[in-house]
Amino acid sequence: MDTITTSRPLATYLIRHGDDNLVLAQRLAEYISWAPELEEDLAIANIALDHLGVAHHLLAYAASVEGDGRDADALAFLRSEREFTNLLLVERPNDDFAVIMVRQFLFDAYQVPLWEALAGSADTTLAGIAAKAVKEARYHLRHSRNWVVTLGDGTEESHRRTQHAFDELWRFTGEMFVGDALDTDMAAAGIGVDPASLEAPWRRTVLEAIADATLSEPEDTTVRVGGRSGFHTEALGHMLGEMQWLQRAYPGLEW
Amino acid sequence: MSYSVPKIAGESDTIVGRTEDHLWARWEVFVRPRGGVTHVYSESVHAPDAETALLNARDTYLRRVEGVSLWVIPSGAISRWDEHQALPESRSEEGSARRLWEAFIRHRRGAQFLHAGSIVAADAVDAIVRARDAFLTKTDGVAIWVAPSEAIVAADPDEAEMLFEPFADKGYRQATYYDIPEEVGYM
Amino acid sequence: MDGEERFREIIAADEKVEPGDWMPEGYRQTLIRQIAQHAHSEVIGMQPEGNWITRAPTLKRKAILMAKVQDEAGHGLYLYSAAETLGVSRDELVRLLHEGRQKYSSIFNYPTLTWADIGAIGWLVDGAAITNQVALTRTSYGPYSRAMVRICKEESFHQRQGYEIMMVLARGSEEQRAMAQDALDRFWWPSLMMFGPHDSESTHSDQSMEWKIKPVSNDDLRQQFVDATVPQAEYLGLTIPDPDLRWNAERGHYDFGEIDWDEFWRVVKGHGPMNRERMAHKIEAWERGAWVREAAVAHAAKRTAARSA
Ligand SMILES: [Fe+2]
Ligand SMILES: [Fe+2]
């Protein structure tokens, strides 16, 4: 911790990853009661609950590191769109089941090596959260990969939809591996991980599944960034409007 | 939640249909809970294949129960016997081609099936006869299921962490998480 | 002993009938109808509460509500699983629901308009459901009874989380108290309706009671629920919207007013506030999922073919 001169960078770092999990949990929550089978409704709720739990842990820890009176709920419900620092990928809307599963798969393939690395963080609280999260992420990956392969190599329609989902989401994947000064500092301090180091394992996982799914790697080379600096797609504002509405409409109350 | 919606015009009277007609096959689920000595029957899920069946069973039946092992068996692979069916007195001839079967027993009406053990048998009927001889002292109210051991899809013990642990810290699923004053009565 | 004799003996001895047993066709049909209706109710019941997951006011409440709605999906699943032991498939039952040939509980045809409704549903609707389901653990059909035992274990947190929401609101701001009272006003009578028509009006009850499918009568369960709930409302400082509600020392029970049976029948017959929306949501979700279900079957077939090739 010595190289970090104030607590801000650590809090900011925790909030980023907290936001990833919160925003994805919220997207999955929107989908409950819309799954193709009852079993899948249960599965998606489990995944959403895992992400929500991780978000809660990270935001609560961030709030305590900040030490200026905010709690996890204040971070979740009272920050504006420009203050959210999640990856753009996780805020993409639930267009269809293929998009939901491919989005999940692309993110799971990133989170597994991320948590593996952070489980060795010099910050023991973060390491503890990561050690728990990695077990969940491995399961999420097994689940989403199973669906990606099933849908890719299913019917003509499911193949088309799944390929389309990869093509649509591909430009949001590069952002996961683009680091900034904070990432560099946190990695140097042994607290965080260099995002670039996660790309190789991610690619291995993703390309292998794409092949098993009889799909092709998207050709899109666009890398759309902005999430970590609060420059989002238009989808996020609507999501937050819904998520934060009650806290904003009745400020300062207990629920 | 409703058991009391009265019947109205247009409602179906008799239902014809077969359990097997579901698009996704039915899989029977068995869970060995932490501290449990054997696999206990845990109802069913529907799934298109073995991997999805295993994941579905995990997501459905291990949301609270701390499991240490999970099995799914295609419903169609199970041969069922109960007190109403006659059974041959004796086992098949030794020396015939035999394989391994798993036997599950419901020891009385109302109880859940429990995994009793494995047996070597020539076919399903032979497996039931041998299971009866090996595991039962009475037959009243008892039912036996047998399935070829190879039909059982089991969660890999190496994967126990990711399959079973994530539920440990979801305390809000338990009633004790909520502080309800005693004066409002049992809830 | 023939099957019919054995069946009567099992019922008389308060033992469980199991899937392989001979049973009268009427018993089987009644069970399929009741279990399916129960299963459909759990699944449709995801909608009114699901309506608030994305707007839950805190991270904790969001997790609790999501876990609860998920449990209801699970309950539906356990019940369909039990119904299937009677020789009918879940797909078939879902189809009958979608065609309007099977019903679900009318309580879910009321909208959830404020956050307090989530509290009221947990407290009252799950409370009423639990009253019923605890009684049903003694039902004569083994798989149904076991599903009830599993469900009752999970339900234990549903009512408590709802009541906790009501406690927080009741001791909160003026607006929150008003929200809580409004939710109680809207959900009280529909909750009493959950127990169904009076015993004297209920055409199914006699045979069901004789077969021990339904071990306790509608009116007895309703009384049990009212007796348990009145002190809970008093503790919250909320008023139950029934001018005729009072303790009857002689009976040792609360007396309460008459349900608006016209409203009851209106909603049962499809004219409640949300009947159309609930069914439209359910059917749309099912239709949207068709390509996924089919793709999964196609993929499984390809894998099997590849293995045996
Ligand atoms: Fe339920
Ligand atoms: Fe419930």
- Output phi, psi for B86, to 5 deg: -75, 145
**Residue that finishes a domain, picked among B59, B75, B91:** B75
Q: Is B159 domain-assigned?
A: no
- Domain of B69 in residue numbering reads as 22-75
Whether the per-residue pLDDT at B3 is higher than 60: the answer is no
What's the gap in Å between the CA of B13 and the closest CA on chain A?
Answer: 25
3-state SS, residue B71 = strand
Residue B14 has a pLDDT of: 59
Q: Is B136 domain-assigned?
A: yes
pLDDT digits (tens, 9 = 90+) for A210-233: 999 999 999 999 999 999 999 999
The model's confidence at residue B167, banded by pLDDT at 50, 70 and 90, is confident
Residue B16 has a pLDDT of: 58
Mean pLDDT over B108-125 rounds to 94
Buried b / exposed e along C228-249 (16+ C-beta atoms within 10 A): bbbebbebbebebebeebeeee
Question: Mean pLDDT per 10-residue run, chain C (309 residues)?
Answer: 90 95 95 96 98 98 98 98 96 96 96 98 97 95 97 93 98 98 98 95 78 92 98 98 98 98 95 97 98 97 88
Nearest partner of A180 among A7, A3, A1, A13, judged by Cα: A13
Whether the per-residue pLDDT at B140 is higher than 80: the answer is no
Is B49 within 8 Å of chain C by CB? Answer: yes
- Judging contacts by C-beta atoms under 8 Å, the chain B residues touching residue C147 are 43
Residues B124 and B141 in one domain: yes
The model's confidence at residue A3, banded by pLDDT at 50, 70 and 90, is very low
Residue B34 has a pLDDT of: 87
Residues B27 and B49 in one domain: yes
What's the gap in Å between the CA of C233 and the closest CA on chain A?
Answer: 18
Whether the per-residue pLDDT at A4 is higher than 50: the answer is no
Amino acid, res. C4: E
Nearest partner of B28 among B162, B151, B161, B159, judged by Cα: B151
Task: In whole angstroms, give the CA distance from residue C202 to residue B5.
Answer: 10
Residue B9 has a pLDDT of: 57
Residue B6 has a pLDDT of: 57
CATH for B115: 3.10.20.520
Whether the per-residue pLDDT at A56 is higher than 60: the answer is yes
Is B24 within 8 Å of chain A by CB? Answer: yes
Residue A1 has a pLDDT of: 38
- Judging contacts by C-beta atoms under 8 Å, the chain B residues touching residue C293 are 23-24, 48
Q: Is B176 domain-assigned?
A: no
Residue B7 has a pLDDT of: 60
pLDDT digits (tens, 9 = 90+) for B35-66: 899 999 999 999 999 999 999 999 999 988 77
- Judging contacts by C-beta atoms under 8 Å, the chain B residues touching residue A49 are 170
Q: Name the more confident of C156 and B103.
A: B103
Q: What is the mean pLDDT of chain A?
A: 96
Residues B88 and B136 in one domain: yes
Q: Is B3 domain-assigned?
A: no
Residues B84 and B141 in one domain: yes
Across A25-39, A108-122, A165-179, B10-24, least confident range: B10-24
Cα dist from B101 to A50, B57, C60, C149, whole Å: 38, 22, 47, 30
Q: How many CB pairs lie under 8 A apart between chains B and C?
A: 205
Residues B82 and B147 in one domain: yes
For C63, the closest of B15, B48, B172 (CB atoms) is: B172
Residue identified by tokens 């083994």 is C142
Taking the CB of residue C60, how many other CB atoms lie within 10 A of it?
17
Residues B85 and B148 in one domain: yes
Residues B71 and B83 in one domain: no
Closest residue, chain A, to C66 (C-alpha)? A45
Task: In whole angstroms, give the CA distance from residue B132 to residue B79.
Answer: 13
How many structural domains does chain B have?
A: 2
Neighbours of chain C (3+ CB pairs under 8 A): A, B
Task: In whole angstroms, give the CA distance from residue B89 to residue A47.
Answer: 51
The length of chain C is: 309
Task: In whole angstroms, give the CA distance from residue C230 to residue C239.
Answer: 9
For C289, the closest of A22, A29, A35 (CB atoms) is: A35
pTM as predicted: 0.95
Residues B145 and B84 in one domain: yes
Judged by CB atoms closer than 8 Å, whether chains meet at A33 and C285 is answered as yes
The length of chain A is: 255
Closest residue, chain B, to A133 (C-alpha)? B166
Residue A132 has a pLDDT of: 95
Q: Is B44 domain-assigned?
A: yes
Closest residue, chain C, to A51 (C-alpha)? C63
Neighbours of chain A (3+ CB pairs under 8 A): B, C
Which of A101, A135, A138, A212 best probes binding to B when mutated, by most B CB atoms within 10 angstroms? A135
Structure token pair of residue A2 = 């010595």
The length of chain B is: 187
Ligand 1 mean position to C125 CA, how many Å?
A: 10
pLDDT digits (tens, 9 = 90+) for A175-202: 999 999 999 999 999 999 999 999 999 9
Q: Is B86 domain-assigned?
A: yes
What's the gap in Å between the CA of A49 and the closest CA on chain B?
Answer: 9
For C296, the closest of B44, B52, B64 (CB atoms) is: B52
Residues B106 and B54 in one domain: no
Mean pLDDT over B102-109 rounds to 95
Fold of the domain spanning A9-249: Ferritin (1.20.1260)
> How many Cα neighbours within 13 Å face the side chain of A171?
11
Indicate the domain borders of chain A: 9-249
Residues B61 and B91 in one domain: no
Residue B141 has a pLDDT of: 75
